[in-house]
Amino acid sequence: MDRTALDPMTARARDLDARAELRATRARFRLPAGVIYLDGNSLGALPDSVPAAIAEVTTQEWGERLIRSWNEAGWWEAPLRVGDQVGRLVGAAPGQVVVTDSTSVNLFKLMVGAARLRPGRTLVLTDPDSFPTDLYLAHSVARLLDLELRRVSPTDAVAAIAEAADSLALAAFSHVDYRTGERWDLAGITAAAHRVGALVCWDLCHSAGAMEVGLDEAEVDLAVGCGYKYLNGGPGAPAFAYVAERHQAVFDQPLPGWTGHARPFAMTAGYVPAPGIARLRSGTPPLLSLLALEAALGAFDGVSPAGLRRQSLSLTTLFIEAVDALEQSLEVVTPREPDRRGSQVSLRHPDAFAIVQALIARGVIGDFREPDLIRLGFAPLYVTHADAVQAARQLGEVLDSGEFRRPEFSHRGAVT
């Protein structure tokens, strides 16, 4: 690598950061000195507001007020209150998002509920390259309800939906591919499904908090997403579920629990679902992690989804240009066209795992996905253009020096 190749980009990055729409939001996070954190697409960074908020919850609301905080501190309403905050970021009007359970549990609820809304239809379409949990659950739901599951790439989804016609109950896709960072046509696929009377469920794990989603505008039926990636809710943060208002009154979710009952404290033997999105609740919410997520969402105050998208694209565009300037044996897997790109850049290299470990040793934290992908996430609230160029510089030096071949960089822990 020509060590001066990125010098012009370094100056450009400083200028972009000085003029960036989101230049002030990085200060809302606790980021370790000497670290460039490009793994927010796996676990978001810690917002500065969270530790104090959790201390307040544990020492005051729980420690002093004890069980009274269910009423006095708004614990009971938290899943719906935080749901509306998430809803703003994904383009959903209030009353359509609830924060509850995990993405996996919510996806199961929505897929079964969707099938129940389309009795007599026997086909479910999903992406063969979806995150494994999505595929496992789709297979399970198909077995449970005696449905046919057909795997179709989002590239071919519109044609496959038209061909399926009135046999199609549900199309379930991810908005952004977790491996490649490719962003799929949410509005176009949703419209295609509606033309044949089918429903669509979108997995927003790799888009919520990083870009515009526009659930209501696209007339999406159902969606799920996690709270610990771009929403920065912390490890194990609860997920969210979206059910469009038009479906809520008749939505029959398969995991009815006491908190989703119309009168939960009546303790009746028969289940009567709560009105609205509250019927998606099942068990008692994990309050500590839920309230951590609520505090974390304060980092988005004054930030629009469109602003997130502009920053994300500016960061990823600059990084791709910097990688190109390295003239190394790296394949940029993520689409170069902005409209087709999420908020990460994935690079292919046969020694991807070792390269990621060598980068981490240098303070550039990304991650690896089988079999040969380097994933680098550009969370728009706290990653800077200077980070993007410096990460590319470190990547070039790792490749030039061959240090990734050191034995310690081949060791795999339980989490890769």
Interval 243-267 mean pLDDT: 98
Residue 46's DSSP bridge partners are 30
1 pLDDT band (50/70/90 cuts)?
A: low
Q: Is 103 annotated as a binding residue?
A: yes
Instruction: Give per-residue pLDDT as tens, 307-353.
Output: 999 999 999 999 999 999 998 899 999 999 999 999 999 999 999 99
Q: Which residues are catalytic?
A: 131, 203, 228-229, 375
Interval 351-359 mean pLDDT: 99
**Cβ–Cβ under 8 Å, residues 108 and 135:** no
pLDDT for 303 beyond 80 = yes
pLDDT reported for residue 4: 84
H-assigned helices in 91-185: 103-117, 132-145, 157-164
Q: Is 203 annotated as a binding residue?
A: yes
Among candidates 92, 97, 102, which has minimal Cα distance to 78?
Answer: 97
**Cβ–Cβ under 8 Å, residues 353 and 380:** no
Interval 78-92 mean pLDDT: 99
Q: Is 314 annotated as a binding residue?
A: no
Residue 203's DSSP bridge partners are 174, 224
pLDDT reported for residue 47: 99
Interval 84-98 mean pLDDT: 99
**Distance of alpha carbon 329 from alpha carbon 264, whole angstroms:** 60
The mean pLDDT of the chain is 98
pLDDT reported for residue 269: 95
pLDDT reported for residue 319: 98
Q: Is 131 annotated as a binding residue?
A: yes
C-beta atoms surrounding 190 within 10 Å: 22
7 pLDDT band (50/70/90 cuts)?
A: very high
C-beta atoms surrounding 317 within 10 Å: 17
3 pLDDT band (50/70/90 cuts)?
A: low
**Distance of alpha carbon 99 from alpha carbon 90, whole angstroms:** 13
DSSP assignment string, 185-251? -HHHHHHHHHHTT-EEEEE-TTTTTTS---TTTTT--EEEE-SSSTT---TT---EEEE-HHHHTT-
pLDDT reported for residue 366: 99
5 pLDDT band (50/70/90 cuts)?
A: confident
Interval 6-35 mean pLDDT: 97
217 pLDDT band (50/70/90 cuts)?
A: very high
Q: Is 132 annotated as a binding residue?
A: yes
What residue ranges define each of the domains in the chain, with the CATH number in brackets?
Answer: 7-30+304-410 (3.90.1150.10), 51-300 (3.40.640.10)
**Percentage of the chain with pLDDT > 90?**
98
Instruction: Give per-residue pLDDT as tens, 44-71.
Output: 999 999 999 999 999 999 999 999 999 9
**Cβ–Cβ under 8 Å, residues 362 and 396:** no
How far, in Å, are 88, 292, 381 from residue 55 at the CA level?
26, 10, 24
Instruction: Give per-residue pLDDT as tens, 360-398.
Output: 999 999 999 999 999 999 999 999 999 999 999 999 999
Task: Say what the pTM is.
Answer: 0.97
Q: Is 58 annotated as a binding residue?
A: no
Q: Is 216 annotated as a binding residue?
A: no
User: 323 — alpha (psi -120 to 50), left (phi > 0) or beta?
Assistant: alpha
Instruction: Give per-residue pLDDT as tens, 18-27.
Output: 999 999 999 9
Interval 162-183 mean pLDDT: 98
